């Protein structure tokens, strides 16, 4: 339904009609210059002394890093476009953090590991295919635009998986559990798509 439907009197602002932007903004998204905040509950404030990051589950060497240990890992600067399921996209965001490849090297996933459950302070979880977190596709980031990541944006550290809708980039992330069977996370059990590819507009269940 709705094919061919025209909204009487709607002309639009065409902010995205420049061709350079069109191929960077997925369908149904618009360009946002601010940085909206979207969270389901209060912002957690975990002191760095109490923070750690764990990788467990289908790995040969489960590992836990303290904040100092994590910050001593090889890190990189990342500039990527991000896309939120609430329709905004933000281009050329600059982050600093540790590649998931670097972390996985240290824990040696088993050959059966297929999926990742990211878990966060506050109880948030999200699920991702392991293959989509490898090969320079995902990071744990702790700085945004040259500044420590603010708590409301997920600080001290959040996941960054820019090729999927941004709810997959879990704020306040504290670890990854590698599993053999997929297991829907928080939003994935509340009506949102299990995968979340913005270029396929995988917003909600069944998309």
Partner 1 sequence: MERRALPGRLGERLVWQLGDVLATREETPRAKSITLAVPNWRGHRAGQHVDIRLTAEDGYQAERSYSIASPPVEAPHITLTVERLDDGEVSPYLVDELRVGDKLELRGPIGGYFVWEANSGGPLLLVAGGSGIVPLMAMIRQRAAVGSNAPTRLLYSSRTFEEIIYREELEQLVTNSGSTGLEVKHTLTRAQPVGWTGYHRRIDGEMLREVAWPLEERPLSFICGPTPFVETAAASLVGLGYEPARIKTERFGPTGESGASGASGASAVPGGHDGE
> Does 92 engage in binding with partner 1 (CB under 8 A)?
no
- CB nearer to partner 1: give 132 or 188: 188
Candidates 30-38, 93-101, 132-140, 175-183; binding stretch for partner 1 (CB under 8 A) = 30-38
Q: Write the CA distances from 18 to 12, 14, 23, 46, 135, integer angstroms.
A: 14, 8, 9, 43, 31
Considering only residues 68 through 87, tell me which ones interact with partner 1, judged by CB under 8 A: 84-87
> Does 23 engage in binding with partner 1 (CB under 8 A)?
no
Residues whose CB is less than 8 angstroms from the CB of residue 202 and which lie 6 or more positions away in sequence, other chains included: 165, 193, 195, 196
Distance (Å, whole) CA 26 – CA 121: 30
> Does 197 engage in binding with partner 1 (CB under 8 A)?
no
Distance (Å, whole) CA 54 – CA 177: 8
> Does 148 engage in binding with partner 1 (CB under 8 A)?
no
Which of 163, 168, 130, 156 is CA-nearest to residue 51? Answer: 156
Interface ranges with partner 1 (CB under 8 A): 1-2, 5-15, 17, 28, 30, 32-44, 84-88, 122-123, 150, 152-153, 165-167, 169, 171, 186-187, 189-192, 203-207
């Amino acid at each position: 339904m709705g094919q061919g439907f025209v909204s009487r009197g709607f002309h639009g602002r065409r902010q995205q009609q420049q061709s350079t932007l069109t191929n960077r903004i997925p369908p149904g998204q618009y360009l946002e210059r601010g940085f909206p905040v979207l969270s389901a509950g209060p912002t957690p404030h975990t002191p760095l002394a109490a923070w750690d990051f764990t990788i467990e589950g289908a790995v040969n060497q489960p590992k836990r890093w303290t904040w100092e240990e994590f910050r001593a890992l090889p890190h990189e600067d990342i500039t990527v476009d991000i896309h939120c399921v609430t329709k905004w996209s933000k281009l050329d965001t600059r982050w600093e953090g540790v590649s998931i490849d670097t972390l996985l090297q240290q824990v040696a996933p088993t050959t059966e590991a297929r999926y990742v459950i990211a878990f966060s302070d506050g109880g948030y979880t999200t699920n991702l295919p392991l293959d989509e977190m490898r090969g320079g596709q995902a990071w744990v980031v702790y700085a945004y635009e040259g500044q420590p990541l603010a708590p409301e944006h997920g600080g001290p550290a959040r996941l960054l998986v820019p090729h999927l809708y941004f709810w997959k980039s879990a704020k306040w992330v504290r670890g990854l559990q590698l599993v053999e069977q997929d297991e829907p996370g928080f939003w994935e059990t509340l009506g949102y798509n299990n995968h979340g590819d913005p270029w396929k507009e995988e917003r909600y269940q069944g998309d």
